[in-house]
Amino acid sequence: MLEIGKKNQYSLDMERLISLQPFRTTFPVLVQIARYLPVPIIKNTANSEERLKIYAIQSVDRYKKIISQNPTGPKPTLFTKLFDEKSGMSYSEIIQEAQGYIVAGSDTTAVTLTYLTYAVCRDSRVREKLVAELADIPEPVTDKSLRDLPYLNQIINETLRLYTAVPFGLPRLVPSEGAQFNGYHVPGGITVSTQAYSLHRDHAIFPDPDKFNPERWENPTKEMKDASLPFGGGSRICLGIHLARMELRLATALFFRALPNARPSTKEGMTASEMEMQSFLMAPQGHRCIIET
Going by the annotation, the residues of the binding site for heme are 238
The three state secondary structure string of 130-156 is HHHHHCCCCCCCCHHHHCCCHHHHHHH
Cα 8 to chain centroid distance, Å, stands at 20
As annotated, the binding site includes 238
Q: Of 109, 119, 125, 145, give the one whose Cα is nearest residue 254.
A: 145
Residues 47-66, buried b or exposed e (16+ Cβ, 10 A)? ebbebbeebbeebbeebeee
The residues, ordered by sequence, that sit 6+ positions from 196 with a Cβ below 8 Å of its Cβ are 164, 166, 167, 229, 230
Torsions phi, psi for 6 (to 5 deg): -155, 170
Q: Exposed, middle or buried by CB within 10 Å (0-12, 13-18, 19+), for 212?
A: buried
Torsions phi, psi for 128 (to 5 deg): -65, -35
- Separation CA 285–CA 274 (nearest Å): 5
The residues, ordered by sequence, that sit 6+ positions from 72 with a Cβ below 8 Å of its Cβ are none
**Residue pair 252/147 in contact by the 8 Å Cβ criterion:** no
Cα 55 to chain centroid distance, Å, stands at 20
